[in-house]
Amino acid sequence: MSEVENLLHQLLDKMSEVASTLEEISDKLDNVSGAYGIDDVVAKLDEIAGDIVGPTRYNLTDLHGALSSIESEISSVNTTLMLKD
């Protein structure tokens, strides 16, 4: 019986830790929403998502567009070559 009791105490301790962590997260979110309006946070996230920059400072969004263009051109050339055969 003491083993079950011990396990229940461990479970209760872990649940208390989770509750404490959730309270910390909630407090941090309250600070964010108090300092910034939620619309400001969403706008900033949209701005970041629209302009993804790699570690070498190349704009990955531009690279993706260029690669898509190259892929389209190669596909066009392949189609032209297949039609000529």
Does the model's pTM come out above 0.75? no
Q: What is the mean pLDDT of the segment spanning 15-34?
A: 78
66, part of any domain: yes
pLDDT band at 14 (very low <50, low <70, confident <90, very high): confident
Which whole-number Å values give the CA distances from 21 to 17, 28, 35, 85, in the listed order?
Answer: 6, 11, 21, 67
Give the three-class secondary structure for 53: strand
Q: What is the mean pLDDT of the segment spanning 54-68?
A: 68
pLDDT at 40: 76
CA atoms within 13 A on the CB side of 6: 3
pLDDT at 54: 59
Mean pLDDT (the chain, rounded): 75
Query: Residue 55 belongs to what domain range?
Result: 51-85
46, part of any domain: no
44, part of any domain: no
